[in-house]
Amino acid sequence: MSRGIGCRYGSHRVIEPKGILPQPATRLDNSMEIFDNEMLIDVATLNIDSASYTQIRKACDGDRARMEEMILGIVAERGKMQNPVTGSGGMLVGTVRDIGPAFPARKVAVGDRVATLVSLSLTPLCIDKIKKLDPASDQVDIEGQAILFESGIYAHIPVDIPEKLALAALDVAGAPAQVDRLVREGDTVCIIGGGGKSGVLCCYQAMKNVGPYGKVIVVEYSKDNAKRIEELGLATHVIIADATDAIDVYRKVIAITGERGCDVTINNVNVPNTEMTSILITKGQGLIYFFSMATSFTKAALGAEGVGKDIELIVGNGYAKGHSELTLDILRESKEIRALFEKVYV
Exposure b/e, 123-158, CB count within 10 A at least 16 = b? bbbbbeebeebeeebbbbebebbbbbbbebebbebb
Could you tell me the pTM of the whole model? Answer: 0.86
Total Cβ atoms within 10 A of residue 107: 6
What's the mean pLDDT when you consider all of the chain?
94
Strands 262-267 and 282-290: parallel
Asked whether 223 and 243 are in contact (CB, 8 A), the reply is no
At 32 the pLDDT is 96
Distance CA 275, CA 283 (A): 15
pLDDT-based confidence at residue 51 (cuts at 50, 70, 90): confident
Distance of CA 306 to the CA centre of its chain: 29
The mean pLDDT of 57-80, rounded to a whole number, is: 97
**SS3 call for 21:** coil
DSSP structure string for 44-82:
EEEEE-HHHHHHHHHHTTT-HHHHHHHHHHHHHHHSS--
Q: What is the mean pLDDT of residues 20-46?
A: 97
DSSP 225-244: HHHHHHHHT--SEEEE--TT
Tell me which of 134-143, 242-251, 314-323 is least confident.
314-323
Q: How far is 63 from 225, CA to CA, in rounded Å?
A: 24
Which uninterrupted H or E stretch holds 99? strand 90-99
Specify the DSSP class assigned to residue 84.
T
- List the one residue out of 291, 284, 290 whose CA is nearest residue 311: 284
**Using one digit for the tens of pLDDT, what is the confidence trace for 170-227?**
989 999 999 999 999 999 999 999 988 899 999 999 999 999 999 999 999 999 999 9
Give the separation between CA 290 and CA 173, rounded to whole angstroms: 14
Average confidence (pLDDT) over 13-39? 96
pLDDT at residue 289 is higher than 60: yes
* Residue 344 binned pLDDT confidence (cut-offs 50, 70, 90): confident
Confidence of residue 106 (pLDDT cuts 50, 70, 90): confident
pLDDT on residue 318: 82
Mean pLDDT of all residues in 115-142: 96
Using only C-alpha atoms, the chain has a radius of gyration, in whole angstroms, of 20
State the alpha helices, DSSP H only, in the chain: 50-59, 64-78, 163-170, 174-182, 197-210, 223-232, 246-257, 275-280, 297-306, 323-333, 335-344
pLDDT at position 1 over 70: no
pLDDT above 80: residue 95:
yes
Which residues fall within 8 angstroms of residue 4, CB to CB, at 6 or more apart?
35, 36
Percent above pLDDT 90 for the chain: 88
Domains of the chain: 11-157 (no CATH), 174-344 (3.40.50.720)
- Assess contact for 199 and 226: CB atoms under 8 A: no
Question: Coil, strand or helix: which one is 149?
Answer: coil
d(CA 246, CA 120) in angstroms, rounded, equals: 32
